Amino acid sequence: MSVRKIIPLEEAYRLVDELKRQGRRVVFTNGCFDLLHPGHAQVIAEARKLGDVLIVAINSDASIRGLGKGPGRPVIPQAERAEVIAAFEGVDYVTVFDTVSVQPVVARMQPDVLVKGSTWAPDEIVGREDVEAAGGRVVAVPVVKGYSTTAMVEAARKLHR
């Protein structure tokens, strides 16, 4: 069922162009989504409320390795991460990007609303300038305190040492 929600990046670009021509409000968020936790669910749920169509872009496995998240990351392969994100009721589409930075994706997609968790300061939100320059807005959603994928991975590693 959720596989239909998972689309290649080029198709996502074409889709956004068409949705905007139709006057639909496109919301975009992104992340690694390696080990899901309540903070991820909160961002997705709040992002869903901000427009007509929610697109979630996930970092590819190579992209996560390029971010230097640590050895053994990602824990979950990109196809499986995409499937889990696609299973969220409020997510309309999922796409995977290969660049370390999401900036070129945001610049090309030009969503009406760019959403990130509030752990990011407004000036740290990648793509903010592109979205605002095109008349869109950036929303920092309050996050559920105490959750971090990196901390979860480290805690699991300590248990197995």
pLDDT per residue as tens, the chain (161 positions) = 455 999 999 999 999 999 999 999 999 999 999 878 788 899 999 999 999 999 999 999 999 998 877 777 798 999 999 999 999 999 999 999 999 999 999 999 999 999 998 888 888 899 999 999 999 999 998 876 655 555 554 545 566 66
Q: Where are the domains of the chain?
A: 2-159
Both tokens of residue 131? 């979205």
Classify 2-159 by CATH class.
alpha beta
Total-model pTM: 0.87
In the structure encoding, which two tokens stand for residue 54, read together? 């929610």
pLDDT the model gives residue 36: 80
What letter would DSSP give residue 66?
A: H
Token pair 């709040």: residue: 46
Which region, left, alpha or beta, applies to residue 128 given φ > 0 means left and ψ of -120 to 50 means alpha? Answer: alpha
